[in-house]
Chain A
């Protein structure tokens, strides 16, 4: 029954066990390690794996809020926004009015087109103690989903946070790309590449932006560069395959309906 149980952790258990064993052998088998591995998986676009690592992390220590946030983020990235919303609600029952979790919920709500809830959660996230690039990124996404003009200001604010780095530019680029603003996304991805040119994920995202803008040749080059840096980047290999099988009509449609930067 491949469909129904496809999400159960049967398929890649064995592969992961190797990594776990090495960690166990090294005596560093704790929640932080799983959190680190989850983050690594997230940065190579392996959202399923990242989700599993976040879960393992929480199995060891249920008070690690970034892992709860990561779970919600991964569900959103996997397109399971209903589940993400449900899960963020559960996490918020445990950690009331936590800014990061509220921001994660706001993102899920924005992707579900529930503007009212997304605005409310984003407001709560910004009013909660502390600040982070993530909260401002979600604020930008909420505004972007609502068609507001100030989204970019929020993204700029997120980059002005002390903890912001090249990865935040990638996240912003992904958000823009999700809403079909490939030109805006490309701008942020390029700046991320200026900061970290050896990041495979940045090349991959750049390729996605270029593909969305019908710059097929450039997209191919970006994906190839991504695979050079990280040969196991499966999404890039798939994307190259997709580019090669792209028909002229598909290319023309992409070219004609690409959106200009606003």
Chain B
């Protein structure tokens, strides 16, 4: 009994080949193949379903027969040069792509700097990071091609996030320690600064030890409660009108510091404490008077004495609450300029 599959000579009467386990006596085996059903809709649905399943499975699974990824095959020098997007391509082939990457990266970076502080500035920065990630991963392309599309997307996402965190966010953090861009939403009203403006404020490393009368500063409003008034945490931008130790009075709606009205050009951005009926207090050491331009509507519904108390509490700002001077108005570009 010779096996037709492996040519092994089996003992007579054997039903199965002892070497390859093939059937030796197949006389009763059905030989008519199955055919596609005439129920075409069911067949079509079954095939689409199978196709979808296999497509998902094959996309999800890494392909089984592949050369294992070898990092020694990666052109590390090109990857190193690609730390500046496109330079790797320019030096090691693909000059057009390299210049395209470099130009688009610089353009996106420049636009994101110009749009600093605006919400869509983040998208421009994300675009620059994307270009950077692409230029780096392009040199790993030959290796990454052995992975499924999902794996490649995941690797790209991880690389994008790592690059963004390690390079761009850390650079941004350092930059913010010098100057912080802030969009004024509900903080300012007046000629100098308007709602929606983007300003550049001094950061932790450039903040002066002492501030001067007339400085426009960004400061923190600390939460407090008592006397029927609740103040929530927030930030505000306004001008310093009183220095530590100054005597502050409001007489007939006019703000007096040390008995004298505020000189021209040094008034609060909103014009003064319009809703205050009576004030008379002395600023303690390390305490500045910054009268907020905007008063929350909730405060206005209170009785007069509580309005006075609430605004006084917000206006007496400790030195450590001040984040820094507002030095530059970035947006809108039509009003770009230094803030005096």
Q: What is A's interface to B at a CB cutoff of 8 Å?
A: 3-7, 51, 55, 58-59, 62-65, 71, 75, 78-80, 82-83, 86-87, 93-98, 112-116, 119-120, 123, 129, 146
Contacts and interface: CB of A to CB of B under 8 A. Distances in A.
A123 B26 CA distance: 27
B65 A119 contact: yes
A213 to B, nearest CB: 27
A105 to B, nearest CB: 13
Given A87-B33, A95-B4, A119-B63, A112 B38 contact: no
Contact of B38 (A5, A59, A114): A5
A71 B33 contact: yes
Given A64-B4, A87-B33, 6 more contacts: A6-B38, A94-B22, A94-B26, A114-B57, A116-B57, A116-B64
Interface residues of B, number: 31
B103 to A, nearest CB: 29
A64 B55 CA distance: 35
A6 B58 CA distance: 34
Interface in B98-128: none
Contacts of A80: 35-36
Rank and list the top 5 A-B pairs by shortest CB-CB distance, nearest first.
Answer: A4-B38, A58-B31, A62-B26, A7-B35, A95-B5
A82 B47 CA distance: 8
B321 to A, nearest CB: 62
A257 B51 CA distance: 24
Q: Please classify the interface of chain B as helix (H, G, I), strand (E, B), loop, or mixed, using the class held by over half of its residues.
A: loop
Interface string B52-76: 0011011001011100000000000
Nearest to B27: A62
A188 B50 CA distance: 32
A78 B35 CA distance: 10
B170 interface: no
Contacts of B20: 95-97
Nearest to B59: A115
Contacts of A62: 26-27, 29, 31
Given A112-B50, A116-B63, A116-B64, A95 B34 contact: no
B23 A59 contact: no
Contacts of B29: 62, 94
A146 B31 contact: no
Given A65-B4, A65-B5, A94-B26, A113 B33 contact: no
B21 A96 contact: yes
Contacts of B22: 94-96, 98
Given A96-B22, A112-B54, A116-B58, A3 B38 contact: yes
B4 A83 contact: no
B38 A83 contact: no
B260 interface: no
A95 B16 CA distance: 10
B51 A113 contact: yes
A86 B329 CA distance: 73
B34 A87 contact: yes
Pick from B4, B29, B33 the residue with the most CB of A within 10 Å: B33
A7 B36 CA distance: 8
Nearest to A72: B33
A119 B64 contact: yes
17 contacts: A5-B38, A7-B38, A62-B27, A63-B4, A63-B26, A71-B33, A95-B4, A95-B20, A95-B23, A96-B5, A97-B20, A98-B22, A112-B50, A113-B54, A114-B57, A114-B58, A119-B63
